[in-house]
Structure 1
């Protein structure tokens, strides 16, 4: 049976390997060797998949401009599951990205029936303050609320022209009972992802969105509608002799569009051969990486000059979900399953001491057979958050599997680290609160 990805419901027991075939997600392991100093989530396989991350690898390695974009729906306490996304945003900013972060208050108001005031309070208190405390800097960052960003609202309206209810039903499983505002929130998500590419912001630029697999429906919708919004489509084709060539096709492009494009290309690529018609242009020449880049740049320039968008399809990465402390998915709606970033440090440590582990039934069995760290929420805390050194992590894993250490020892280690982290983080939150104005947040 095909898996269903629902951005608004718990997605437990996903078979991540099947997502490659079922939804066209690519394995992240394919691009990992090309990344210098990858984030620990990348090294450890926590980030398991991607769409078009090659464009971000190029920006990372060549120090070209790009954007990391993400958002948080303000419906409850921010916990260590949300910290996964925050950590990635900070890492990308530290590696050259502009960080754009939205608070999805329109979505929360529609889907969760929260008041606008409550949406703003939760968005600032739970998410933005913790994000700043975790290392986000105001330089090269932009924070906003959906309800207050006119560019997002206007773009969502334009995107809606190219999306119908049948498409939303196919992607999200909406029924006749789905509220219209809930449907509108999906194109608002698309506008969140694409609006940084508007000329009033960064213009067409590579964008990466780090998400859990359950958010992929938003990515698929946005990538599809981005293509529909563009004037031109570039395709690689082969002729009857199996020789490759490029074809640029136009949708409602002005009459002189391809003449302009032809003239520009001939000035940029030596000895280029073209065939121009009213609705498309074919390019026959050596389309090496450099020439392909020139072609795409020319097409983008012409579209922008003619008033188009020239959106670049957003890239995305997909990370595994953290297990809840009680088993299952970590969720804001199940307080005992998670540790909030604002939780009392000692209370959090006690939760860890009561958490579900991958230990055996008895001490004797544990020493004989060893533990099962792949089934342990405590070991996951080490992998995702509490241990940065890979060698130290491997040592814990080996000691667990060999029966050298018992669950109580691991729990104590994790509890101490959780308490120390939260104590430090909550002190940093006090400083972060005072810095909100540096990010343009009036609260």
Structure 2
């Protein structure tokens, strides 16, 4: 059984197991419908999703949707964080309302980092890099501790959550501090608050994550369900297929309005609706719920990307600087880390030429795949040359190191320019 731990160092060797064990859907089934897909989508780095159809439908129809991710300010910003930032920025460019949360409540509760340090790391590491990568004004950047809507919603969500549920999802025990539990509910509030009335109301929201963060998604989807006034289900009976709308409380007036607007048959605690489209009924139910003071949350969607391997093989760890490249490493430091990285080459040059390399085992090829080469044909040429034994590791490392040096130089120049944009997000350098 695969265990997903949002706060641990996780390596998943068989991603296909997640489809069956956790009910994650295969992303490649949607790929043909996505306009201008990101390279992570094209290259199957994004391998799974929950409810991404709702995002894609809104994107294609020009309807409101949002993309959000949070970053715990506990260390340096690195290429793993860059992956998530790029996914948020891609959705922003395709019409989504973009949110970037600095999870300082989580860092303070789980890592014991001071509020001042959280602020410093949040701005100087994560936010500057996000803006440098293309996060545009009009998007929302905030600290959990400074967002009253998020904190208020977290309190309301706490009414619907209990210790047994949190323990089942996260493995919490009697030794877990209460603030840690509060930080979990705050993350659920992060995910749901783009659907609050002041943020434009219910809409599809996607959270790009690594698979280790799926517990947060599952918990939040469950809480969204609990917070809503109505349950909408497709059913079948003697009269054929129909849609049932059930009230969780005695909302007779609201059920009556739903029955009138959908042509459904009203019962004591539910309405049965025939010959109507599910999405149309759900839209009516949301409108009625909002009118009667409810939230009408849509279950959040999520995408799941593969983890990057540590540069020396194995897990990438923030405690081992040589295992990752920080976006604030100097260009020469980044290039040197690439030159020292583990490759998928054979033991000898003769074997390399005879048997070919193994790019699937090569952290340098992974850097090209994830970050350094945008053109798919160029990447495929490097792959073929590697497996065909015509490209040796030293040459490939040199090429990747030069690309990394160039990327870091350009990125850090953009980080300096990003400081001038902080005011547009209501922030300033500290």
**TM-score range, shorter-chain basis?**
over 0.9
Q: Tell me which of 252, 255, 270 is aligned to 2:252.
A: 255
Q: Aligned partners of 1:124, 1:254: CA distance in 2, in Å? A: 46
User: 2:98 maps to what in 1?
Assistant: 99
Q: Tell me which of 272, 292, 301 is aligned to 1:282.
A: 272
Q: Aligned partners of 2:201, 2:32: CA distance in 1, in Å? A: 30
1:7-406 to structure 2, matched below 5 A, reads 7-139=6-138, 141-240=139-238, 243-266=240-263, 274-285=264-275, 287=276, 291-406=277-392
TM-score (normalised: structure 2): 0.98
Give the 3 Å change call, closer, same or farther, for CA 117–251 of structure 1 in structure 2: same
Kept in 1, the 8 Å contact 2:144–2:151? The answer is yes
Task: Report the CA distance between 1:333 and its aligned residue.
Answer: 2.2
Q: Aligned partners of 1:14, 1:371: CA distance in 2, in Å? A: 20
Runs of 4+ in 1 over 4 A off after TM superposition: none
Q: Note the residue ranges of structure 1 that are not aligned, 5 or more in a row.
A: 267-273
Q: Aligned partners of 2:172, 2:43: CA distance in 1, in Å? A: 35
Give the 3 Å change call, closer, same or farther, for CA 182–14 of structure 1 in structure 2: farther
User: 2:427 maps to what in 1?
Assistant: 441
Task: Report the CA distance between 1:179 and its aligned residue.
Answer: 1.2
Q: Aligned partners of 2:12, 2:247: CA distance in 1, in Å? A: 43
Q: Aligned partners of 1:45, 1:166: CA distance in 2, in Å? A: 36
1:127-184 Cα shifts (integer Å, max 9, x gaps): 0000000111102x01000000011111001101111111111111112211111111
Q: Note the residue ranges of structure 2 that are not aligned, 5 or more in a row.
A: none
1:217-237 Cα shifts (integer Å, max 9, x gaps): 000000000000000010000
Give the 3 Å change call, closer, same or farther, for CA 300–13 of structure 1 in structure 2: closer
1:35-69 Cα shifts (integer Å, max 9, x gaps): 12111100100000000000111112112111001
Q: Aligned partners of 2:372, 2:169: CA distance in 1, in Å? A: 36
Alignment coverage as a number of residue pairs? 429
State the superposition RMSD in angstroms.
1.0
SS at match of 2:160: coil
Q: Aligned partners of 2:13, 2:285: CA distance in 1, in Å? A: 40
Q: Aligned partners of 1:355, 1:72: CA distance in 2, in Å? A: 26
TM-score (normalised: structure 1): 0.95
Q: Aligned partners of 2:319, 2:25: CA distance in 1, in Å? A: 31
Q: Aligned partners of 1:294, 1:7: CA distance in 2, in Å? A: 36
Q: Aligned partners of 1:202, 1:69: CA distance in 2, in Å? A: 15
SS at match of 1:132: helix
1:333-385 Cα shifts (integer Å, max 9, x gaps): 22110010010110110111010010111111111100000000000000000
Q: Aligned partners of 1:38, 1:189: CA distance in 2, in Å? A: 28
Task: Report the CA distance between 1:253 and its aligned residue.
Answer: 4.3
Q: Aligned partners of 2:184, 2:77: CA distance in 1, in Å? A: 22
Q: Aligned partners of 2:361, 2:238: CA distance in 1, in Å? A: 55
Q: Aligned partners of 1:382, 1:342: CA distance in 2, in Å? A: 19
